[in-house]
Amino acid sequence: MRLALYQPDIAQNTGTILRLCACLGVPVDVIGPTGFDMSDRALRRAALDYIDHVALVRHTSFGAFWEARIAAAEPNRLVLLTAHAETPHHGFAFKTDDILMLGRESAGVPEAVHQQADARITVPMRPGLRSLNVAVTAAIALGEALRQTGGFPATAKDITSLS
């Protein structure tokens, strides 16, 4: 399982997502250009000391991300999280090698990216409200995906019960 951020606008949201993924052991792809400084120093400020614990791959563009995805022996399924989908996240059957993609805070993803997605899912919300914060959406969807696939990291309690 991976999480991909399409041209994120807000460093603090990206930092929160990097921290989430560090804690859950989920690699992250950041697809540029970003709306903020993506230097190591800036990321360290946004993600605090968790940046050293996350597998982070930076892509200069969606095209570069797509080429890396296709170059894999078996390309992972691209699952787009969007407010414009019909399928709720909890009604979707996740696979262990899915890539969950989140769009820009300001604009989501362009139609061309929508068309490239293998699936589009949404986190259901009350009618009349526009969207959740991207980091909150990431946590909700990733939590369900890891629950379904048994992908949560082992805890100290889990490890000691195996002894």
Token pair in block for residue 118: 């293998």
| Residue 28 belongs to domain spanning | 2-161
Instruction: Find where tokens 């362009």 sit.
Output: 110
Least reliable range by pLDDT among 60-64, 141-145, 156-160 = 156-160
Instruction: Find where tokens 């989908």 sit.
Output: 85
The per-residue pLDDT for range 80-101, each reduced to its tens digit, is: 999 989 999 999 999 999 999 9
CATH for 47: 3.40.1280.10
Q: Give the 3-state secondary structure of residue 101.
A: strand
The per-residue pLDDT for range 43-66, each reduced to its tens digit, is: 766 666 788 899 999 999 999 999
Predicted structure pTM score: 0.91
Count structural domains, the chain.
Answer: 1
Sheet holding 119-122, edge to edge: 56-59, 28-31, 2-6, 99-102, 78-81, 119-122, 87-88
Q: Where are the alpha helices (DSSP H) in 32-154?
A: 40-47, 62-71, 111-116, 134-149
